Structure 1
Amino acid sequence: MKNVNVLNGLNMVPDHCAIRRIGPADLKDSLTKGANDFLPVLEFLGRPLFTVLFSIFYTLICIYLITTDLPLLFPLMSGFALIGPFAAIGLYEVSRRRELGLDTFWRHVFDLRHAPSLPSILALGLVLLTLFLCWQAAADVLYVWLFGPAAPESFRGFLIEVLTTPRGWTLIILGNAIGFIFAVTVLTISVVSFPLLLDRNVGVAVAVRTSVRAVLANPLTMALWGLIVAVSLAIGFLFAFVGLAFVTPILGHASWHLYRRVVQ
């Protein structure tokens, strides 16, 4: 029975949940509201401390993992976008509480453990983690197929090899093609799933189905949203990871507001 609840939720919401058609203006509005949710952090008054901690923790994890395996540098960097929707669940809660006019003191984020939909959120998070691991495995197999099992001697040598040789370009082209498939899959099943599960206990099946319907109803806008996320994270990485401390929370908060724009 518990497994059924995880899949379908306790309060069943039919498949015909109203989906709105949105455009670039809605994405701009979501990002603006996401930035407004993040701005109190800059005041450092303690209430939004969770966002500060999330940003620092996320950045440190990125730095640690990327320095452990040079050939998987790009797959790891791009792979964080795959688990981002689940990692940002606390940011959704902050935005939800601000929307309701409730206190956003950081300890309230831990109230999520009492959420009726927590099993569904964890189950869907496990799906994203599995996709992340599959992407890493696929990238590793591709690298070994082209370059062999030996690790590169230096970052400079690895970079020259990738950018100036036929097998390096093959790695770039095939790697991006495979990564694109994973990215589209995750975007499709999760763009509104986690905020929906936090907002209503509908179960994984309904949440994923609603997310897929939202993407199918707004393919170009959702593609633009995916591009915004990818470019924003890339900029965050380029600024010595410091940019992630600003980019990731804004995108997390914006995702909640995007859900509000899409799901009626």
Structure 2
Amino acid sequence: MPLSPTNKDHNHEYARTIESNKVEIFAPLHWLSLGAKDFIAAPLISLVYGLIFSLIPVAIMYLYSETDNHLINISMTITFTLIAPVFAAALYDVSWELEKGHKPSFSHSIKSMFRNPVGAWAFAVIILLIMTAWLRVASLVFALYPDSLNPTFEELLAFLSLGTILGALILAAVMVLSAFTPQILLERKVDIMTAIFTSTRAVINNFYAMLVWGLILIIFVFLGFLTSAVGFIVIMPVLAFASWHAYIAVIRTKKKRIYE
């Protein structure tokens, strides 16, 4: 799969931008296949982390059933999409170890979450703030839901339009920020702004490919919920592994990386 450099390191007032590659529009499908390959190469550790990840949507579905409000499913799905990248560092480490020809281990993957604690926690706080803001916005949008038991489409139009637009904007912003930021913070000793600037520029330079990648993520998240969260046991590790291969393909390094 041909790759080409698109931008050199740029210096900003607060951070620099690491050079990135231009990838093909359907490169995300290749990342997904490599993620599945990593899952097969390390099935036990993948399933254990997948089980841990599945507990998050189970909690979301429990809240959904307790509130008896089908509208909360929209905000909870987006919330899950927001927080998942923060907890994926351990799975990134599994793919990284496989890339280096090492055997992944639980101890090594757990330690990886503390490799760049300042940057990781800063990113977690940023995502948490965005998640909190989204939940507040969602609650305000839900206030527009018609009071009638059988609302017409016209009555639902304001609610559906505003909710869709705001949800899409917040989700897009988070995907831009989190596309490569966690991977950069895991592998490199850089500050949070450098990671965010690099992720943002790389996404912009690969707009159509990242659009395809974003659609893949959303589709798989919904598939996970459709399986009552059981599917996340496999889905989350595969997506995390694929995200690492996306990082290898897009963010350039001085030495040659293994990218099949």
Q: Deviations over 1:31-70 (max 9, x none)?
A: 111111222465xxx4445424334323423323333432
Q: Contact 1:56–1:245 (CA<8 Å) still a contact in 2? A: yes
CA distance in 1, matches of 2:128, 2:114: 22
CA distance in 2, matches of 1:47, 1:248: 12
Gap change, CA 1:190 and 1:140, over 3 Å in 2? same
Q: Deviations over 1:60-117 (max 9, x none)?
A: 23323333432422111122111221122221111112212223122322213541x1
Name the residue aligned to 2:257: none
Name the residue aligned to 2:141: 142
2:61 aligned with 1:60: no
Q: Deviations over 1:173-226 (max 9, x none)?
A: 211110001011101111001001101011101000001110111111111111
Q: Alignment partner of 1:103: what SS?
A: coil
Which shows bigger deviation, 96-105 or 65-74? 65-74
Residues 5-24 of structure 1 mapped to structure 2, 5 A cutoff: 15-24=16-25
Name the residue aligned to 1:38: 39
Gap change, CA 1:89 and 1:144, over 3 Å in 2? same
State the shift of 1:26 in Å: 2.1
Gap change, CA 1:239 and 1:49, over 3 Å in 2? closer
Name the residue aligned to 1:108: 108
Name the residue aligned to 1:234: 222
CA distance in 2, matches of 1:51, 1:101: 21
After TM superposition, the score normalised by the length of structure 2 is: 0.82
Residues 1-264 of structure 1 mapped to structure 2, 5 A cutoff: 15-40=16-41, 42=43, 46-48=44-46, 50-69=48-67, 70=69, 71-115=71-115, 117-147=116-146, 161=151, 164-264=152-252
Gap change, CA 1:113 and 1:87, over 3 Å in 2? closer
CA distance in 1, matches of 2:87, 2:65: 21
- Amino acid corresponding to residue 61 of structure 1 in structure 2: A
Q: Percent identity?
A: 25
Gap change, CA 1:200 and 1:139, over 3 Å in 2? same
Name stretches of at least 5 consecutive residues in structure 1 with no aligned partner.
1-13
More helix by share: 1
Gap change, CA 1:114 and 1:227, over 3 Å in 2? closer
Q: Contact 2:46–2:91 (CA<8 Å) still a contact in 1? A: no
Give aligned pairs, total: 236
Name the residue aligned to 1:9: none
- Amino acid corresponding to residue 123 of structure 2 in structure 1: L
For the aligned residue pairs, the C-alpha RMSD in angstroms reads 2.2
Gap change, CA 1:61 and 1:36, over 3 Å in 2? farther
CA distance in 1, matches of 2:233, 2:156: 31
Gap change, CA 1:122 and 1:67, over 3 Å in 2? farther
CA distance in 1, matches of 2:54, 2:199: 29
Q: Alignment partner of 2:22: what SS?
A: coil
After TM superposition, the score normalised by the length of structure 1 is: 0.81
Q: Contact 2:90–2:109 (CA<8 Å) still a contact in 1? A: yes
More strand by share: 2
Q: Contact 2:36–2:238 (CA<8 Å) still a contact in 1? A: yes
CA distance in 2, matches of 1:129, 1:239: 26
CA distance in 1, matches of 2:76, 2:153: 22
Name the residue aligned to 2:12: none
